Amino acid sequence: MQLTQHTDLGIRLMIVLARKGAGPLSLPAFAAQQRLSYHHVAKVAQALVHEGLLVSRRGRSGGVELAGPAAGITIGGIVRALEKGLRLADCANCALKDGCGVTGLLDEALAAFLDVLDRKTLSDAALPQRGLQSVSESVEARSKGTNPA
């Protein structure tokens, strides 16, 4: 399963906002920091505002901010908001759709995928991942011939 760039960018934007805390985030600044097209960032932000996940503030000190607490927003909710019509295969246009046993299996797999994402909130995703950091530090230490503590 691969999410679209649109959704990937939306999740990134939401994580940055959760880490930032109170106050709006400038979309041009976010786009520059992430080395992305401002127009693409604005389109994603607009979709998140439309879905009620972000609030947009106009003006000199404007930008976007979370519409609610990060602990109340699931990663699954973000994915559902940005991936309209999410499906694993185009079963509706398949010549084998009548009597095919894969359709139900794919529906079940998608539900399981979203169930895992629903178990993690934006607050969870915004936390630094110490386990990954430890692994990368360990690999770096081994390459230098030292033993990580």
Summarised one tens digit per residue, pLDDT across range 73-89 is 999 999 999 988 888 77
Structure tokens at 40: 């693409």
Chain centre to alpha carbon of residue 34? 14
**What is the band of 91 on the pLDDT scale with cuts at 50, 70, 90?**
confident
Q: Cβ distance 15 to 54 under 8 Å?
A: no
| Residue closest to 25 by CA, chosen among 49, 61, 52 | 61
Provide mean pLDDT across the span 28-47: 92
pLDDT at 129: 63
Q: Cβ distance 70 to 11 under 8 Å?
A: no
pTM, to two decimals: 0.77
pLDDT at residue 99 is higher than 90: no
Residue 57 lies in a domain: yes
Residue 143 lies in a domain: no
Structure tokens at 131: 């386990």
As a dihedral over the C-alpha atoms of residue 15, residue 75, residue 53, residue 85, rounded to 10 degrees, the angle is: 130
Domain that holds residue 63: 5-85+120-129
Half-sphere exposure for 63 (CA within 13 Å, toward CB): 19
Number of compact structural domains in the chain: 1
Residue 73 lies in a domain: yes
